[in-house]
Amino acid sequence: MKVLLLALLILPSFAWSKTPIDTSKLLESERNTIETFRNVGGSVVNVSSIKIARGHWLFDPEPMEVPSGAGSGFIWDNKGHIVTNFHVIADSDQFNISFRGDKKQYKARLVGAEPKKDIAVLKLEEMPKKLSPIKVGTSSNLLVGQKAMAIGNPFGLDHTITSGIISALGRKIKGIGGVKIHGMIQADTSINPGNSGGPLINSSGQLIGMNTMIFSGSGTSAGVGFAVPVDTISAIVPQLIKHGKVKRPGLGIGILDDYHKNYFGIESGIVIKYVSDESPAGKAGLRGMGKDRYGRYYVGDIITKIDGKPINNFDDIYHVLEKYKVGDKVTVTYERDGKSKTAKIKLTQL
């Protein structure tokens, strides 16, 4: 028994001894991964979401804090702004941020979100001793085949790094906001639940995307992951910090959903459900749906193009208009009573 105990006491001393590693014997790719993790790991955080659940007013009147989600995020600036996915913090009331090597959890509040891009920004209410904002790169010059690394907290295993390559660019993937996110980066870096909101990094340690979703039949990594491109993040995050939302241009109309559009037998274009007389579209003379003398609905105007670009659903009009600014003028082509018409409309803020 004494011998066994001695062995148990001695073995860990060998297992835990820190022998200096000769990095010159490592491959260049290995040294790059190690250096990237050392430089970027401190910029990655764990994001925990909490929902305030309220019981029955008579039997359980006290509110309870219930964990509602967990994911990753990264430090955007020295002011304590944290960027993550919208779906990580959706429908939650409180947020806790954990940093590498720091056991304390720091409370944060929601600054703003853009669900259609699956982007959210949190703000720390209490600052740690040190913040290490991530180095922001660009996604416009990425190449298929180049190295990509993901850092996050898969299955709650904090600060895990995985390495792979960019498998494809320019993917259009439907996100949580109901429209497709354009320009998505496809990578084969292992991404699992908990990685959402974490950074996708290039070999220079720069942010090139935010890991958002995977294609998998089992719910675990299958080597097909998608990240929101950093150029989209760089365009959205400053607006969320400044305004709490994205100022998007629009026509000032309501659109009939696809189910009811098909009910009326309309295959192309988008049906204007309603339009205010004071909106740009209303002032341009466009009409929405109406009722006849018997109370039956009839279709008004159907928009088919904007500046010559075909429009067939909400996804189309969203991505066409996001390329414009509030105040820009566009030419809208629409059908009324089987005849094609055009109108010049000044875009308003939504």
Q: What is the pLDDT along the chain (350 residues), one digit of tens a residue?
A: 343 333 333 334 434 445 666 777 888 889 999 999 999 999 999 999 887 656 544 545 555 555 557 899 999 999 999 999 999 999 888 999 999 989 899 999 999 999 999 999 999 999 999 999 999 999 999 999 999 999 998 887 888 999 999 999 999 999 888 899 999 999 999 888 889 999 999 999 999 999 998 876 666 667 789 999 999 999 999 999 999 999 899 999 999 998 889 888 998 999 999 998 889 999 999 999 999 889 889 999 999 999 999 999 999 999 999 999 999 999 999 999 989 999 999 999 88
Contact between 153 and 71 under an 8 Å Cβ cutoff? The reply is: yes
Catalytic residue among 49, 72, 81, 87: 87
In the numeric block, which tokens belong to residue 169? 């660019």
**All CATH 2.40.10.10 domain ranges in the chain, comma separated:** 41-51+65-124, 147-243
- 8 Å CB contact between 153 and 195: yes
pLDDT at 215: 79
* 170/1 Cα distance (integer angstroms): 64
Decide which of 2.40.10.10, 1.20.120.160, 2.30.38.10, 3.30.70.260 is the CATH code for 41-51+65-124. Answer: 2.40.10.10
Query: Which are the contacts of 22, defined by CB distance < 8 A and separation ≥ 6?
Result: none
Helix (H/G/I), strand (E/B), else coil: 272: strand
Point out the catalytic residue in the list 49, 92, 98, 118. 118
CATH 2.30.42.10: which residues of the chain? 249-349
Active site residue 118: yes
Residue 68: predicted pLDDT:
57
Which one from 196, 231, 279, 301 is the annotated catalytic residue? Answer: 196
Residue 102 catalytic?
A: no
Domain 147-243: give its CATH architecture.
Answer: Beta Barrel (2.40)
**Quick check: is 93 catalytic?**
no
Work out the number of other CB atoms within 10 angstroms of the CB of residue 72: 28
Report residue 226 as tokens.
Answer: 């998608």
Compute φ and ψ for 260, nearest 5 degrees: -75, -25
Say which CATH superfamily domain 249-349 falls into: PDZ domain (2.30.42.10)
